[in-house]
Structure 1
Amino acid sequence: MDSAVLSGRSLSRHFSVKGAAAPVEAVRDVTLEVAPGALTALVGPDGAGKTTLLRMAAGLLAPSGGSLSVLGVDVAARPQEVQDRISYMPQRFGLYEDLSVQENMDLYADLHGVPADVRRERFERLLHMTDLARFTSRPAGKLSGGMKQKLGLACTLVRLPELLLLDEPTVGVDPLSRRELWEIVRQLVEQERLSVIVSTSYMDEAERCQQVFVMHQGRLLAAGAPADLRSRAEGLSFTAVPRTGNSARTLQARLLDARDVVVDAVPEGGHVRFIRRPDASDGAVAQLLDGLPVNPVPARLEDGFMMLLRAAPPPPTLPTLPTSPTLPASPALTPPAASKPARAAGPAGGADSMIEVRDLVRKFGDFTAVASTSFSVARGEIFGLLGPNGAGKTTTFRMLCGLLPASSGFLQVAGVNLRHARAQARAKVGYVSQKFALYGNLTVRENLDFFGGAYGLYGQRLEQRTSQVLEEFQLGGQEHMPSGQLPGGFKQRLAMATGLLHEPEVLFLDEPTSGADPLARREFWRRITTLSEQGVTVVVTTHFMEEAEYCDRIVIQDAGKVLAIGTPREVRKQADDAGNMEDAFIRIVEQNRNGGAP
């Protein structure tokens, strides 16, 4: 196709990894063509090669082999010519936080040489599209996460490119802001006929695209319109209704473990959506479901995606360094806290309450970030903190972890009053942050030693726990690999391992699956379900609304206030019986911002 905006032939790119015996192949023998004037998605598991492909398309990396042309130009031979005609928004777009919204846009317009008469009209349109016109004088560092992403997109578009490359533009963005960002992209494609290539972990985002490329282990696994990929799961997708008193999370875990019968399973609207294997017998399916009500549902892109990945060969292990002793792979998802007595999760409060929050307030000068918040969390419960960017949930989370003192109110975690003994409480909790607070220049083993010492583990006890978590999180053989060189999925495992080394009673997870693909999210939540069954209390923040369905109860905050609290079913009911949690979340937040009006 001569008019393709991007054309690759037998494209490859490898990287040398310090200490590894062979280079890592990030992109392997990829041939593809991207149609002009359309929205195209790159999807795939962590480490599939999506970002590497986009960086090569932007002229920031040279291919190791094959050819790549962008807008008809050989990007390896003439990268500057390509860069003059495209715009690229990486995952961590460089805003200047001390500069205002307007000053950031002026700076990028200066860098791209946009004439004054052109930039006036362009700024007006971009500020209108992003709804940032009211905030032009606000420093970028004072914007919420969603507003920062919209400003980054505006700065990327201060000149009108022929091709726009977006690398995970909605990672860490709440559902409201995510919807707004996609509306901007849709307008650009429809009104300006802009060609857009976006990498994304959200399959519902990829479903909006005209063309989808599925990558896996650096290779192109499949390509086509969303309908083509959905068809792989047509007739195989169903929902099952858990028995009264049983959680969707528990049923999902049972279905996921039956790999010879079920391809995938995920909680959704109080039910469990699952894909049966094409070769599974009706008898095996019936035995697994044990009389539960089952209904067929239309296939969606995520179903086709999971069918592709489950059929693909397992991912290769990371390069094993010669000095690393290899531990046997973990036979099951056994949590580090397995020695703790198992308890069923129940309603929060009472003598078995692990977290008590009453009239909690946090102010920063005249600004109230959290206003009179109250709730309790039971032992073994999974409790979700949800809210738009800037809603106050991160501040609440940091107070619960003992990282930030409360201005007023009562706060107790694991029987310790955090207003008087924060250090004592921290010894009973584990914490996994969104950015995975690992030391990139330290090896896997050195990170475990450091965090173990920080939690008071030494000598034989530290050695014992380190061996256990290396095995349980399947990190054996990678002990001497610098953590900064691990793929994101392995970093997530290591972060979980460091947070659970000391067998905490309460585990805090701050957007732990941000940017993770559906396959990695399933694996992660299977582990969390097991931890909960063993009596570990889990508090999680997330922008993936499907993950709220894993929680026993959730709270939705906005502008520092609690808008809703209860089980996922109760919250959906409060939102006029919304069919899924994302719709419920948007309705509740919008009604609050509209003064209660729907």
Structure 2
Amino acid sequence: MSEPDITVAIEGLRKRFDAPDGKPFDAIDDISLTVRAGELTAFVGPDGAGKTTLMRMMAGLLRPDEGSLNVLGIDVRADPQSVQNRISYMPQRFGLYEDLSVQENLDLYADLHGVPQEVRRERFGRMLEMTDMARFTDRPAGKLSGGMKQKLGLACTLVRSPDLLLLDEPSVGVDPLSRRDLWKIIDQLIADEQLSVIVSTAYMDEAERCGQIFVFHHGRILADGPPDALRKRAEGLGYVADALPDRPARVLQARLIDAPDRIIDAVPKGGDVHFIRRPQCDEAALADLLSDTRVQPRDAELEDAFMLLLREHENEPAQAADDANTNKEDGDRYGTAETASPSAGERDGPVIVVRDLVRKFGDFTAVASTSFDVQRGEIFGLLGPNGAGKTTTFRMLCGLLPATSGHLEVAGVDLRTARAKARARIGYVSQKFALYGNLSVRENLEFFAGAYGLRGERKRERVKAVIAQFDLDASAQSGILPVGYKQRLAMAAGLLHEPDILFLDEPTSGIDPLARRAFWRTITSLAQGGVTIIITTHFMEEAEYCDRIAIQDAGELLALGTPAEVREQAGDDASDMNEAFIAIVEQNRARQTNEKVAA
């Protein structure tokens, strides 16, 4: 391959950091790779795999310890500024200035990059058109939805035309519609400007778009190649199993996850369960595990290959067996996976009652006349595009925000008159890590146990129990934990006082598929033990774990029912929840547009 055809060339690259215990570790461990020019390349891997560290070195923000790193034909170690002059880099948390307007943010980043005035008009116009934000140039960035902030971040990153664009998980925390819009912009840039793009992502459907994929784990490259080549690694190992009658798909999924000697991965999808068997698991062993349901082979998917690679390099099945034992202990504590959540007829009645709930901010109605019930032991999903009103609804349910009008009852307590009493019965895990980063895991848990009113022996027992349940290192500093472990710690803190209801606000945002599986196995166990779960998420596959879901947009409740009922409402084209979500939201927006035109 000739030099102009190569965007990035790496040989024997290493980056070492000091761990909290003082021992050095290699975040990037002797890797070599070549990235081709003019195409889309993906970095995928679990939390702590080294993807962000590598991107920061490529952007000239971190200095390699060993090896060679050439970007656009420039030695980054010798001349990082020349590289930075020709690339654009959008980190996971892009720094918008929330008090400035959309236009003022664009102007500021153009100033920082020295974009000439005569170039700006055309470039700004193009970015605003591509992001569909020309109508919002006067709006403060802090008043934008999460999806719009990501699009503005991308526009600010591209105020100049770079030779290479680095995107570090650009779609984290955005809904399927915004994610689709974001990728339309990226695809258009590649087609129109022959732009080279490297993206790190936790979404395998995004990696599918790429010409080349590199799979990272513990600072090393496990595999690389085009999607089709990687997919073939899982050929003949994929199956689909019918969900058990009168049981959520997650019940069968949990049974499969708990058999790591035979099963690599399992996930609910379209009302059934998609799973991958171990190569050494024969048909008899599979039939014994799934004797009560129909099983059919299916084509391999990219995520199958990804999970296969990760499991092969996690000392599996030994490590998976340890995880399964932990899951079994969770099941013993909260109820086994095969024990279905109580049916509607068996439950004692709703633990959450919402009637005609309204929340206004001045003249703006964030939530409009919403009504639903949630039963004990139910997993209830609140879904919606960024800015749809689901977070406002969620905060009212938690007692963190008063309703403007309507009736809201949680755990038998009217939230309009006794919010403090209701909060004692609930646990809450926020979207952003909200614990104290400078404290150890144990110190955080002891602090929050005290805040929940736990004292003495009871406090010590609960802290010890959640540390074991979530496999946490009690002495680790909380602020430098990998994202997946921060999420575990936040969950542990929310469950210290053994609440009746657990609220989870996008708890898996930015977490890789491996960590999401472990998270949902714990949630399944909690629900089987009678804990009611209310969750918001932008991963539509996670809606399949829910007993029922509600979809909101512009403050309105558009759909309410089981995943199957919602897919049916979306129409024949919705084979999975991602398609159903997009169809329902777009149908409602088209209806609103037609009504405005008619009026």
TM over 0.5: yes
Q: Measure how far apart 1:552 and its partner are.
A: 0.1
Which amino acid is 1:543 matched to? H
Q: Is the 8 A contact 2:43 2:198 kept in 1?
A: yes
Which residue matches 1:424?
Answer: 421
Which residue matches 1:452?
Answer: 449
Paired residue secondary structure (2:498): coil
Which residue matches 2:150?
Answer: 149
Question: Please, which runs of 5 or more residues in structure 2 have no aligned partner?
Answer: 317-321, 595-599
Residues in 2 aligned to 1:589 and 1:309: alpha-carbon distance in whole angstroms: 35
Which amino acid is 1:143 matched to? L
Q: Give the 5 Å matches for 1:485-500.
A: 485-500=480-495
Say which of 512, 515, 520 aligns to 2:507: 512
Which residue matches 1:312?
Answer: 313
Residues in 2 aligned to 1:520 and 1:22: alpha-carbon distance in whole angstroms: 25
Q: Measure how far apart 1:289 and its partner are.
A: 1.1
Q: Is the 8 A contact 1:240 1:293 kept in 2?
A: yes
Which residue matches 1:91?
Answer: 92
C-alpha change, 1:340 and 1:232, in structure 2 (3 Å) is closer
C-alpha change, 1:308 and 1:487, in structure 2 (3 Å) is same
Say which of 534, 537, 544 aligns to 1:542: 537
Q: Is the 8 A contact 1:90 1:167 kept in 2?
A: yes
C-alpha change, 1:274 and 1:343, in structure 2 (3 Å) is closer
Residues in 1 aligned to 2:292 and 2:97: alpha-carbon distance in whole angstroms: 58
Q: Is the 8 A contact 1:512 1:542 kept in 2?
A: yes
Q: Is the 8 A contact 2:239 2:275 kept in 1?
A: yes
C-alpha change, 1:510 and 1:492, in structure 2 (3 Å) is same
Which residue matches 2:391?
Answer: 394
Paired residue secondary structure (1:395): helix
Bigger shift: 558-567 or 346-355?
346-355
Deviations 1:507-537 (A, max 9, x none): 0000000011111110100000010001000
Paired residue secondary structure (1:113): coil
Residues in 2 aligned to 1:383 and 1:436: alpha-carbon distance in whole angstroms: 22
Deviations 1:425-473 (A, max 9, x none): 1111011111121110111111001111111111111100011111111
Deviations 1:394-415 (A, max 9, x none): 0000011111111111111111
Deviations 1:279-317 (A, max 9, x none): 1111001111114222222111111101111111349xx
Matching of residue 595 in structure 1 with residue 595 in structure 2:
no
Q: Give the 5 Å matches for 1:245-324.
A: 245-314=246-315
Bigger shift: 453-462 or 347-356?
347-356
Residues in 1 aligned to 2:331 and 2:137: alpha-carbon distance in whole angstroms: 49
Q: Measure how far apart 1:597 and its partner are.
A: 8.7
Matching of residue 579 in structure 1 with residue 575 in structure 2:
yes
Q: Give the 5 Å matches for 1:338-417.
A: 338=333, 344-347=341-344, 351-417=348-414
Which amino acid is 1:389 matched to? N
Q: Measure how far apart 1:349 and its partner are.
A: 11
Matching of residue 332 in structure 1 with residue 332 in structure 2:
no
Which residue matches 2:28?
Answer: 27
Which amino acid is 2:469 matched to? E
Question: Please, which runs of 5 or more residues in structure 1 have no aligned partner?
Answer: 316-327
Residues in 1 aligned to 2:6 and 2:323: alpha-carbon distance in whole angstroms: 45
The count of corresponding residues between Structure 1 and Structure 2 is 583
Identity level (%): 65
Residues in 2 aligned to 1:440 and 1:580: alpha-carbon distance in whole angstroms: 38
Which amino acid is 1:113 matched to? G
Residues in 2 aligned to 1:539 and 1:337: alpha-carbon distance in whole angstroms: 22
Q: Is the 8 A contact 1:348 1:376 kept in 2?
A: no
Matching of residue 528 in structure 1 with residue 548 in structure 2:
no
Aligned-residue CA RMSD (Å): 1.8
Which amino acid is 2:360 matched to? K
C-alpha change, 1:593 and 1:400, in structure 2 (3 Å) is same
Q: Measure how far apart 1:481 and its partner are.
A: 1.8
Which residue matches 2:597?
Answer: none
Paired residue secondary structure (1:376): strand
Paired residue secondary structure (2:585): helix
| Bigger helix fraction | 2
Q: Is the 8 A contact 2:440 2:474 kept in 1?
A: yes
Paired residue secondary structure (2:503): strand
Paired residue secondary structure (2:522): helix
Paired residue secondary structure (1:209): coil
Which amino acid is 2:148 matched to? M
Deviations 1:208-233 (A, max 9, x none): 00000000011111000001110011
Q: Measure how far apart 1:500 and its partner are.
A: 0.4
Paired residue secondary structure (2:333): coil
Q: Is the 8 A contact 2:335 2:525 kept in 1?
A: no
Residues in 2 aligned to 1:136 and 1:308: alpha-carbon distance in whole angstroms: 45
Which residue matches 1:124?
Answer: 125
Q: Measure how far apart 1:331 and its partner are.
A: 3.6
C-alpha change, 1:424 and 1:330, in structure 2 (3 Å) is farther
Say which of 10, 14, 18 aligns to 1:16: 18
Residues in 1 aligned to 2:384 and 2:397: alpha-carbon distance in whole angstroms: 16
Q: Give the 5 Å matches for 1:52-91.
A: 52-91=53-92
Which residue matches 2:187?
Answer: 186
Q: Is the 8 A contact 2:88 2:164 kept in 1?
A: yes
Which amino acid is 1:592 matched to? N
Which residue matches 1:237?
Answer: 238
Which residue matches 2:319?
Answer: none
Q: Is the 8 A contact 1:348 1:377 kept in 2?
A: no
Q: Is the 8 A contact 2:430 2:504 kept in 1?
A: yes
Q: Measure how far apart 1:259 and its partner are.
A: 1.1
C-alpha change, 1:95 and 1:459, in structure 2 (3 Å) is same
Q: Measure how far apart 1:25 and its partner are.
A: 1.8
Which residue matches 1:443?
Answer: 440
Q: Measure how far apart 1:480 and its partner are.
A: 2.1
Residues in 2 aligned to 1:513 and 1:208: alpha-carbon distance in whole angstroms: 23
Deviations 1:236-272 (A, max 9, x none): 1111112321221100011111111111110000010
Q: Measure how far apart 1:336 and its partner are.
A: 9.7
Q: Is the 8 A contact 1:93 1:152 kept in 2?
A: yes
Residues in 1 aligned to 2:285 and 2:174: alpha-carbon distance in whole angstroms: 41
Q: Measure how far apart 1:130 and its partner are.
A: 0.5
Which residue matches 1:170?
Answer: 171
Paired residue secondary structure (2:326): coil
Q: Is the 8 A contact 1:329 1:471 kept in 2?
A: no
Which residue matches 2:197?
Answer: 196
Deviations 1:103-125 (A, max 9, x none): 11111111111111111111111
Q: Measure how far apart 1:166 and its partner are.
A: 0.2
Q: Measure how far apart 1:339 and its partner are.
A: 6.2
Which amino acid is 2:8 matched to? L
